[in-house]
């Protein structure tokens, strides 16, 4: 039985496997392929690969609307959920009160919320994880985790 949330267009393809005669099965697959190509061309069928979805979620990680479920909040969203980003620091700019703006290799900018005694160094590994109450913590190369917020 097909998943009720699945695309009926793709279900036709799966049904072709049940056709016994070779020529009829080939005709079924050809018709299904034309239907899928037509649906993609018209925009009524969207096909996304998991790697593209995860990369997009990683790029939006930490932004205010990043928690929205682009895939409807079902199993697909759970399977592509991003709760941390591992990258390196590419630049550091002093902010206010011993805080810093940290540019990362993934083209995002984060600001430390907690003051730091020394500025982080470019080239240093960083892991940013979700913390309690919707916040984020950055672990910078073995230092204690510090609260951060995404700037852009």
Check whether residue 101 and residue 127 sit in a common domain: yes
Check whether residue 69 and residue 89 sit in a common domain: no
Domain annotation covers residue 18: yes
At 73, the pLDDT band (50, 70, 90 cuts) reads low
Among 105, 48, 110, 120, residue whose Cα is nearest residue 80: 48
At 11, the pLDDT band (50, 70, 90 cuts) reads confident
Check whether residue 111 and residue 88 sit in a common domain: yes
Check whether residue 99 and residue 146 sit in a common domain: yes
Calculate the alpha carbon distances from 116 to 53, 96, 108, 120 in Å. Answer: 34, 11, 20, 9
| pLDDT over 70, % of the chain | 81
Q: Are 100 and 116 in contact (CB under 8 A)?
A: yes
Domain annotation covers residue 1: no
Check whether residue 107 and residue 144 sit in a common domain: yes
Among 85, 95, 80, 88, residue whose Cα is nearest residue 62: 85
Identify the domain containing residue 146 by its residue range.
84-150
Residues 6+ positions from 82 with CB-CB distance below 8 Å: 54, 57, 58, 61
Check whether residue 59 and residue 38 sit in a common domain: no
Check whether residue 88 and residue 145 sit in a common domain: yes
Check whether residue 92 and residue 75 sit in a common domain: no
Check whether residue 100 and residue 133 sit in a common domain: yes
Residue the block writes with tokens 């205010």? 64
pLDDT at 5: 46
Domain annotation covers residue 146: yes
Query: What total number of domains does the chain contain?
Result: 3
Check whether residue 111 and residue 146 sit in a common domain: yes
**Predicted TM-score (pTM) of this structure:** 0.59
Check whether residue 58 and residue 12 sit in a common domain: no
Domain annotation covers residue 2: no
Residue-wise pLDDT for 27-71, tens only, equals 999 998 898 888 888 877 777 777 877 777 777 776 666 556 555
Domain annotation covers residue 60: yes
Calculate the alpha carbon distances from 110 to 15, 17, 69, 123 in Å. Answer: 49, 51, 23, 15
Check whether residue 26 and residue 59 sit in a common domain: no
């Amino acid at each position: 039985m097909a998943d009720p949330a699945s695309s009926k267009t793709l279900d036709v393809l799966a049904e072709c496997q049940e056709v016994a005669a070779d020529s009829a099965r080939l005709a079924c697959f050809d018709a299904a392929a034309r239907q899928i190509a037509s649906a993609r061309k018209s925009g009524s069928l969207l096909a996304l690969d998991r790697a593209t979805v995860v990369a997009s979620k990683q790029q939006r990680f930490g932004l205010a609307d990043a928690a929205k479920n682009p895939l409807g909040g079902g199993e697909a969203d759970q399977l592509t959920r991003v709760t941390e980003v591992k990258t390196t620091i590419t630049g550091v700019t002093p902010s206010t009160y011993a805080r810093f703006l940290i540019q990362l290799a993934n083209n995002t900018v984060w600001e430390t919320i907690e003051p730091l005694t020394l500025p982080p160094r470019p080239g240093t590994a960083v892991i940013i994880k979700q913390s309690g109450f919707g916040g984020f913590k950055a672990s910078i190369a073995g230092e204690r985790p510090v609260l951060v917020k995404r700037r852009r």
